[in-house]
Structure 1
C-alpha cells in the first residue's frame, strides 16, 4: 500500500495512517443478523471502544472481491479498547446474561456465548491516540486481511496496513515483523489459501521460510485444527504448493517423500505423484462442496484423496524394464500408503477415529480397478463392504475418493467405476439378505469356545457367504458341520 492511494471499496484517497472506509453495509448486515452480537457491542461500548475484527470482516472483504464465502459466521471476534480491567469486562458481559470463560495461553481472550452467538473478546489497553492504539493492536494480527476492523459506533472500516487493498487483489500478506511471534501462522496461511485461493505475497513466503526451523515450537493440538480447515477449502493444489514453497512441507515427510516421484504417463499424464495428489484433493473438495458435504465426513474424504498415493514414495514405486522399455509401477502402494497416512495423521493430532477412517479409504482405493468390464460381482462387492465396516455410508465415501483419484489425472481425468460397486451393494442390501447368516452363537452351540480359531471360522464363514456357498441359515449350519467334520484344528 502506498501513501495517498485510492481505497478500492469506497474510492476515497487515503491520507491518514489509519484509513476510514465508509463502505460498511455488508459487514453491518452480517453483524446485525447475528443474535447476541448487537447486545454484546452495546454493553461493551459503555466501557470502551469495541471493534469487530477477524474472520467476519475478512470474509466480507473477500466476498466483495468476488470470492465465494458463506455469509453466516460461526463466531464474532471483538477487540475492546478500554481502560477498565479484565475482571470488570467479565462482570459487565455476565450482567447481560452471557456465559464468559477466559482462555488463551499467550493472550487472554474471553470466550463469550450470548443468545446462542459465540464471541471472542480480546481486551487492548486504552490509548488517548486512538489511531495509535488501533495500529498497535492491528500489528499483532497475522495478515493484513485480518487486521481490518469495523467500528460500529462510527460505522467505518479501519485499515492501518492495506488489508482492504490486499483483499481486492486476493493477496495474503503478513501485517508486520511480529508475524514470527507464532510459527503456526504459516499453517494458517496454507489453510487460508485452500479456502480462498489467495496468492501469498513473496515477502510473506520469505518470512515463512525463515520460520520453518521453529515448527517444533507449535503444539500438536494446534496443528490439527489448521489441517481440518485446509480440508474445508476447494483449492488444495494451491495450498500444497504454498506448503512446499515455505519449506514447511518437510514437516509432513510422507507428503514430501512423493514430490517429483514419477508415474506411468499412460495413466498419469499430469506428471509426478505430488501433482496428482493436489489435483485429486481439488476434485474431492469440489465434489464435497457441490453435494453439501461438511464436517468430519468432508475432512475424511478430502484428506484421504490428498493422501491416497503417499505409498508410492521410496520403494513404493518401481521401474520395470521389459522388452527395451521401462514401465513405472506401484504395486502394493495402497497398503503402504495406509500405514504412511496413519503415521502422518497421528503426528498432526488427528483424532484416532478420523485417522482410521482415512487409512481405511487409502488402503482400499485400488479395489475399484480390480474388476473386468462387466462390473463388480456381488461377492466382490460384499467383501469390500465388509472390509469397509459394513457401512454403505463409508462405502460412498470410498467411492468419492476413488472418483477423485481418476478425476485428478490432468488430460486423462475421467469418472471411476466406483458407482457400479455402490449400485451392487445397494441392490444386495435391498434384497433383505442378512449380513451374517452364521454368528458366534452358532459356533458356541456347536461346542467352540471364543479364541483365534473361533474368529478364523467366522471369517471363513463370511467369505463363504459372500461367495454364495450358502444363502440361508440352513445352508450356513451345513457349511459349519462340514467344516467341523473335516478340520484337524477344530
Structure 2
C-alpha cells in the first residue's frame, strides 16, 4: 500500500500558491483494508475514504471506461493492481496529473511540470473527451490561471466533443456548479472566452454567446461590442471581490441586447424587459439558486434607470426604491447598486469614473427607512390610507434630505 498526494495540492505548491485541500491516491489497497485501518468510506461512485485524523480524502487508484454519454456514463474499476500512472492518466489536465510520494519526490508521467513552466493548459490524453465536464473545468482553470493558454490540440479535442453532442448531455446542476466556480475566479471572462472558442458557450449559454458582435452606441460604450462590455463588467466585479450573485447579475444584465431588432441598432430600446424574459429561461434551465436569481432579476430590469435617478422627481425616486424592494431588502439593494456600478465602470475609459448615483440612492434609502411605518399606520384604519400615509411620510423624509 502506497500513498501519494495528487492533483491541486501538488499543482499549487509548484505554482507557489497556498494549498487549500489535499487529496491522496492509494495504490495497492482495497476497501476492506482501508476500513480496517480506520478510514471512513464516503464515495458513492468510486472508493473514497476520509482519513481518521486529518479528514483528508484518500481515493483508491482507479481506471474508468466510457459506457455512455455525459459525465455519468462511466464504469469505474478500482483494485490493488491499478498503478499510479493509470490513475493519473484519467485526469483532465497535465497540471493536475502530478503526484508526490511520501519522500517528496514528484511523479509526472504526462509532462505537467513542463506545462506549468510554459503556462499551458493541456489535456492528459484522449480520455479527456469522455467527460464533457472537463470542458467546463478547463475553462474554469483558464479563469483561475489567467496567464495560462489552452493548448491548440486541447481546443481541437474540445471542439470535437461539442460537435459530438457531449456537452448536450450535461446535467444542469453540474453546469451551474462549474459556472459558479468560474464566476468566482480571478478573471471570469477567460472562462467564457474558452467556452466560446470551442463552441460550448453556444450550447450552454446561447443567451450570452449571441451578445458578441452586437454593437452599442459608441458615445456610451467605446468598446462597442456588447459581449466585450459584459465581460468587462464581469471582470470589474471580480476585481472588486464581489459576491456570486453580483457576478451572475453582471453576466446576465444585458441579455436582451442579443435580441434587439437590427433596424434600431446600435440603440437597444426595451432591452431590459427582453433581458428579464431571457433570464427566466436561464435560471430555470440551470437551476440557479434564489439569491443569484432574485438579484439578477432586479439588475436586469432596473439597471438602466439607475443612471437617471438624479434627474427624477423625488416621488419617482421613492417609487423606484419600492419597485426594487429596497426598503424591505436593503442589503440586496446595496448589492444591486454594486452590480450597477460594475455595469457603469465596465466600459472602455470609464473604469475609474465616479458613480454618484449609488451615494444618492443610499441616502434616499436611509431617509425612507427612517420613517416608523408602524407608528404612521396606527393613525389610520383603512389599508389604502395607511399605504398612502406611509408613502407621504417617506416622501417628506426625502424632501428633508434634498433640503439638507
Distance 1:470 1:202 in 2: 59
Q: Does structure 2 retain, via aligned residues, the 8 Å contact 1:382–1:466?
A: no
Aligned CA RMSD, in angstroms, stands at 3.0
**What does 1:466-477 align with in structure 2 at a 5 Å threshold?**
466-468=394-396
Whose radius of gyration is greater, 1 or 2? 1
Q: Is 1:219 the counterpart of 2:163 in the alignment?
A: no
Q: How far does the alpha carbon of each residue in 1:86-132 deviate from its partner, in whole angstroms, 9 at most, with x for none?
A: 233134234xxxx532223xxx04252655744252434444xxxx9
Distance 2:398 2:239 in 1: 43
1:434 to 372, 376, 392: 372
Q: Is 1:191 the counterpart of 2:140 in the alignment?
A: yes
Q: Does structure 1 retain, via aligned residues, the 8 Å contact 2:230–2:250?
A: yes
Q: Following TM superposition, by how much is the alpha carbon of 1:308 offset from its aligned partner in structure 2, in angstroms? A: 1.1
Give the 3 Å change call, closer, same or farther, for CA 227–357 of structure 1 in structure 2.
same
Distance 1:233 1:470 in 2: 40
Distance 1:467 1:161 in 2: 68
The equivalent of 2:73 in structure 1 is none
The equivalent of 2:69 in structure 1 is none
Give the 3 Å change call, closer, same or farther, for CA 114–335 of structure 1 in structure 2.
farther
2:325 to 384, 388, 394: 388
**What does 1:83-232 align with in structure 2 at a 5 Å threshold?**
84-94=29-39, 99-104=40-45, 108-112=46-50, 114-115=52-53, 117-124=55-62, 125-127=79-81, 133-152=83-102, 154-197=103-146, 198-212=148-162, 213-232=165-184
Number of paired residues?
377
Give the 3 Å change call, closer, same or farther, for CA 149–332 of structure 1 in structure 2.
same
Q: Following TM superposition, by how much is the alpha carbon of 1:339 offset from its aligned partner in structure 2, in angstroms? A: 2.5
Q: Following TM superposition, by how much is the alpha carbon of 1:348 offset from its aligned partner in structure 2, in angstroms? A: 1.9
**What does 1:454-473 align with in structure 2 at a 5 Å threshold?**
463-468=391-396
The equivalent of 1:302 in structure 2 is 247
Distance 1:183 1:345 in 2: 21
2:24 to 64, 74, 78: 78
Q: Following TM superposition, by how much is the alpha carbon of 1:216 offset from its aligned partner in structure 2, in angstroms? A: 2.3
Which structure 2 segments of 5+ residues have no match? Answer: 63-78, 400-404
Q: Following TM superposition, by how much is the alpha carbon of 1:376 offset from its aligned partner in structure 2, in angstroms? A: 8.3
The equivalent of 1:271 in structure 2 is 224
Give the 3 Å change call, closer, same or farther, for CA 62–437 of structure 1 in structure 2.
farther
Q: How far does the alpha carbon of each residue in 1:290-323 deviate from its partner, in whole angstroms, 9 at most, with x for none?
A: xxx5xxxx111111111111111113x5644xxx
Distance 2:126 2:247 in 1: 34
Q: Does structure 2 retain, via aligned residues, the 8 Å contact 1:236–1:279?
A: no
Which structure 1 segments of 5+ residues have no match? Answer: 1-47, 64-68, 321-326, 447-453, 472-490
Q: Is 1:50 the counterpart of 2:3 in the alignment?
A: yes
Look up the SS of the partner of 1:410 in the other structure: coil
Q: TM-score, normalised by structure 2?
A: 0.83
Q: TM-score, normalised by structure 1?
A: 0.70
Q: Following TM superposition, by how much is the alpha carbon of 1:134 offset from its aligned partner in structure 2, in angstroms? A: 2.3
Look up the SS of the partner of 2:90 in the other structure: coil
Distance 2:153 2:189 in 1: 21
